[in-house]
Amino acid sequence: MNKTYDIDPKAFWRDPYPDLARIQAQAPAVFVPQLGATLLTRRDDIFEQEKRIEVFSSEQPGGLMTMLMGENLMRKDGDAHMAERKVIFPALSPRVVKATWKRQFEAATNSILDALEPQGHCDLVTDFAMPVCGEALKVITGLTQMPTAEMDRVSQHMLDGCANYVGDNEVEARCHAATAFIDEHIDLMVPELIKTPDASVLSVQLAAGLPMASTRANVKLVISGGQNEPRDAIAGTAWALLAHGHALAKIAEGSASFLDAFEEYARLISPIGMSPRQVARSEHVLGHDFEVGDRVFLMFGAANRDPRIFEAPDVFDITRNNRKSVTFGAGPHFCAGAAASRALIAEVALPKLFERLPRLRLDGGVTFGGWAFRGPLKVPVRWF
């Protein structure tokens, strides 16, 4: 008989980890009625089953992301997925990140810190991490005319829509408004990028002749994955370092790096906590009977705290070997923007923040929220 576990959705949003730990201990696959989905929570199971696209398919015609944002490359498998991934690769490759985007990340981050430094205090989420990521996304996507704060807003409203498994009509309406706003900015930039191509995601898709519906959907995917998650990782990693002074000291002495800190934070509090799948073929696996059409959630946040893999998984340990974490996914759907995220977070935003504000310290309580996408709601700090 299939295992079932009930949650309180509000409590799960505030802190999913106690429930995820209990689900993880109960069985490899557990159905959660309040989410209408079966959750896979163990790291090795997720690592293996994510690759079995013939059973756990990314193609979800009726899924929230597809219905709200269009069918992007993450909602495709096999050749269709790889073809679109190949098209956008020139905008997100490690070489292009290093040669083109990193210097623009640095210029924008310096400018943001120039404005912040005299103030003596701020919220790292809204005042630092949000504009840093927004400015980065404007150039990566090609939507350079979009205001930075709007980039953050539309990303948040899309993510809220994609996690709206309780069917809140207001959340859905905000998501539709956000996608329409993005389409307006795509339409604004298309003539300019056709005339003067660049390395942006929009430009490389136009140059490749990708259908416009796919181009729009992929731009929205990059925004949804490239704004909130790096924003939350920048502010969250800064919080973790400030709350664990010994870790910051290791970076100062050269025995650890900001990349180590980012990867450990993203293991502990996974910015992308879940990836949805739809069952394409009935099968009995992991002690569970899966039927065609069933919704399945691969719980990356739980996998990254699996005690079978990570010793003391609830502890922030900058010296931990995170090779087995699934922060960026696994298999063919490994995050296409991983190189850009690592450069922005670990090579630019965090080093510059601590270099420019050497007296940086926490200035109040830090709260977190979310389960499908999770991060700090505020990180108040001061440096005078």
> Which tens digit of pLDDT belongs to each residue from 167-196?
899 999 999 999 999 999 999 999 999 999
Indicate the residue type of 305.
Answer: R
Measured CA to CA in angstroms, residue 294 lies from 62, 99, 139, 288, 291 at distances of 12, 44, 38, 12, 6
Closest CA to 208 of 223, 221, 193: 193
Give percent of the chain with pLDDT exceeding 70: 99
Tell the burial category of 235 from Cβ atoms under 10 Å away from its Cβ (0-12, 13-18, 19+).
Answer: buried
Closest Cα to residue 55, out of 66, 67, 69, 40?
40
Here the tokens at position 174 are: 């905000």
**pLDDT, averaged across the chain:** 94
Cβ neighbors of 217 (< 8 A, separation 6 or more) are 69, 70, 71, 72
CB atoms within 10 A of CB 285: 16
Mean pLDDT of 121-148: 96
Q: What is the mean pLDDT of residues 301-327?
A: 96
Q: What's the 3-state SS for 98-122? A: HHHHHHHHHHHHHHHHHHHHHHCEE
- CATH number, domain with residue 185: 1.10.630.10
Residue 202: its pLDDT value, please? 98
Question: What span, in angstroms and rounded, lies between the C-alpha atoms of 82 and 70?
Answer: 17
- In the chain, % helix, strand, coil (3-state, to 5) comes to 55, 10, 30
pTM for the model: 0.92
- Average the pLDDT over 121-149 and give the result: 96
How far, in Å, are 20, 42, 51, 54 from residue 48 at the CA level? 19, 10, 6, 13
Under DSSP, the state recorded for 59 is -
Residue 1 — pLDDT band, cuts 50, 70, 90?
confident
What percent of the chain is predicted at pLDDT more than 90? 84
Take residue 205 and report the two structure tokens written for it. 């898709």
Burial class, 56, CB count within 10 angstroms (exposed 0-12 / middle 13-18 / buried 19+): buried
Q: What is the pLDDT of residue 126?
A: 96
Q: Is the pLDDT of residue 61 over 80?
A: no
Rounded mean pLDDT, 34-46:
97
| Residues 191-231 pLDDT 10s | 999 999 999 999 999 999 999 999 999 999 999 888 889 99
Q: Which domain holds residue 64?
A: 3-382
Per-residue model confidence (pLDDT) at position 228: 87
Provide the 3-class DSSP secondary structure of residue 289: strand
DSSP state of 356: H
DSSP E strands: which ranges in the chain?
A: 3-4, 29-32, 37-40, 56-57, 121-123, 275-279, 283-285, 288-290, 295-298, 361-362, 367-369, 375-378, 380-382
**pLDDT for position 255:** 95
Q: How many domains does the chain have?
A: 1
Q: Would you state the pLDDT for residue 334? A: 74
- Give the pLDDT confidence of 247-287 residue by residue, as tens digits: 999 999 999 999 999 999 999 999 999 999 999 999 999 99
Find the range with the poorest average confidence among 7-16, 50-59, 307-316, 329-338.
329-338
**Lowest-pLDDT range of 21-25, 143-147, 166-170, 180-184:** 166-170
Tokens for 159? 């993510």
